[in-house]
Amino acid sequence: MRLIVLGASAAYAGPDEACSGYLISHLHPDHFLDIYPLHNYYLLNSTIPDFSLRVLAPSKASELLDCILSDDYRKKFINIFRFEDINGKIEYRFGNLKLQFCKVNHLEPTYAVAIIGKKKLVYSSDTGYCEDLVEFARGADVFICEATLKEVHAGAPVNHLTAKQAAIIAKKAEVKKLFLTHMWPGYDREVSLKEAKEVFDGEIIMSGENKAYEI
């Protein structure tokens, strides 16, 4: 299994950065806007595939994403992308991999996702602290967890985690490696790393754009 980090920034991208993205996410614009350039690539700079691309997404994702398109582009959009609703009960299989989802504490609906093959990778998506995520990440070889805030901002009225809270989840879930992602642009990432290391004794990696990791 190979993990490729498309971006690791929260809300907006800072210099030489990109918004948090792993082709696995939720319905906030900083996580899905790249689908429009992908649509344009197939439409304008590539041979349109003779199949639709399968997109596993929260309910009503297609209506949200195509609402800004003209009628003509909307028809082309839904011809290229085939949306399927996800929930916490359905398990998907792709060759030797299976995908599972768990609803987390953020915009409704937002799901964490587990990709399970010979190894187990879990991505928190955006979330506040929730015990369901602890159980969902249990025993993961890799846990990619949002760490939007510094500890000085703990308790802010937003459903996001600090790096220390991400580390607490990782420790409780007994994961092997913790990747911190979705960090606020301009924050000193070394501070976030230090705060996480106060809790989690395993390996901690700061997610970086365009880096690839063998799992």
- For residue range 6-53, what is the model confidence (pLDDT) as tens digits? 888 888 888 888 887 766 676 778 888 888 888 888 887 766 666 788
3-state SS track over the chain = CEEECCECECCCCCCCCCECECCCCCCCHHHHCCHHHHHHHHHHCCCCCCCCEEEEECCCHHHHHHCCCCHHHHHHHHHHEEEEECCCCCCEEECCEEEEEEECCCCCCCEEEEEECCCEEEECCCCCCCHHHHHHCCCCCEEEEECCECHHHCCCCCCCCEHHHHHHHHHHHCCCEEEEECECCCCCHHHHHHHHHCCCCCEEEECCCCCEEEC
Provide the whole-model pTM: 0.85
Q: Closest by alpha carbon to 122, among 109, 134, 105?
A: 134
150-189 confidence digits (pLDDT tens): 998 888 888 999 999 999 999 999 999 999 999 888 889 9
102-125 confidence digits (pLDDT tens): 999 998 889 999 999 999 999 999
pLDDT at 42: 82
45-88 confidence digits (pLDDT tens): 766 666 788 899 988 899 989 998 999 989 889 888 999 999 88
Rounded CA-CA distance 85/64 in Å is: 13
pLDDT at 48: 62
Q: Closest by alpha carbon to 48, among 72, 24, 77?
A: 77
Name the token pair of 119.
């190894």
195-211 confidence digits (pLDDT tens): 999 999 999 999 888 88
Query: Mean pLDDT for the chain?
Result: 89
pLDDT at 191: 95
